[in-house]
Copies of this chain bind each other. A is one copy, B any other.
Amino acid sequence: MPTSPPPQPTTAEPNATAPVKRVRARRGEGDRLREEILDAAEALLVESADAEAVSIRAISQIVGVTAPSIYRHFVDKDALVLAVCERAYDRFGTYLDEGAKKGNGPLEEIMGRAIAYLEFALDNPGQYRVLFMTPGNKKPDSDLSATPDATFSEAKGLVMMIDSVERAIAVGQIKPLASAAEMSIMLWTQVHGIASLRIAQPEMPWPTADAQIQLMFTTLANGMCANEAVTAMDHGPKLAKTRTRTRS
């Protein structure tokens, strides 16, 4: 049974208009604000994909609450951003899984995953940016060194991809040009390349995303070079002097 709204203090209208006039959460409903804060933070992240333009004050204003009340739900700003990322990351993972489920057979799973990846990234450029285009502390530092192999298994999507590739190789759908892990990473970097360049340089006259991913598939399927040209490609290390840049 809905309780009657509390009388407004002194301001003009008692109920509607004005900046929303939040109804204060009930005793057990503390988590409601928490979710609203996350929503607002994510919204800010999306519209101004612009770095950390997201501020505690802006978030609190959207939610219709004062800045300090955020600290009742998150110990500090980092914790908030982390929570936003985790939520987005989870949704991303779920979306990829759904994409994979659409196909039957490992090759179609892989394609489904790649397509879902690109869809999610282009539909959620702000989230994609913080998750995959920005260096640094998405996860608390302690976690990183905690489990040595966790770095990759944390990237759950990649693990699933490796699994699909292994099966595709076993079934004979994919040539084992390298280990399943290396090939999965290649697929990841390729689709990430499309997504991230489009996001970072939206003003460029790109082909449609569809054309791009189709060309990627076609090239993977057919190979790009005439046979007599292939020999040109086989000589030792390609990169000179480059510092490794892994585990800086």
Which residue of the partner chain, among B196, B206, B222, contacts A193 with CB atoms under 8 Å?
B196
- The answer to whether A247 touches B205, judged by C-beta atoms less than 8 angstroms apart, is yes
- The answer to whether B135 touches A175, judged by C-beta atoms less than 8 angstroms apart, is no
- The answer to whether B175 touches A226, judged by C-beta atoms less than 8 angstroms apart, is yes
Interface size of A in residues (CB-CB distance below 8 Å): 90
On A, residues with C-beta under 8 Å from B are 49-52, 105, 107-108, 111, 115, 118-119, 122-123, 125, 129, 132-136, 144, 151-152, 155, 168, 172-175, 177-178, 182-183, 185-186, 188-194, 196-226, 228-230, 232-233, 237-248
- The answer to whether A125 touches B245, judged by C-beta atoms less than 8 angstroms apart, is yes
- The answer to whether B221 touches A233, judged by C-beta atoms less than 8 angstroms apart, is yes
Minimum CB–CB distance from A42 to chain B (whole Å) comes to 17
- The answer to whether B173 touches A225, judged by C-beta atoms less than 8 angstroms apart, is yes
- The answer to whether B190 touches A247, judged by C-beta atoms less than 8 angstroms apart, is no
**Contacts beyond the supplied A190-B190, A203-B247, A220-B224: 13 A-B pairs with Cβ under 8 Å:** A49-B135, A111-B238, A119-B241, A135-B202, A152-B204, A168-B229, A175-B223, A178-B215, A182-B211, A190-B193, A192-B193, A199-B245, A217-B233
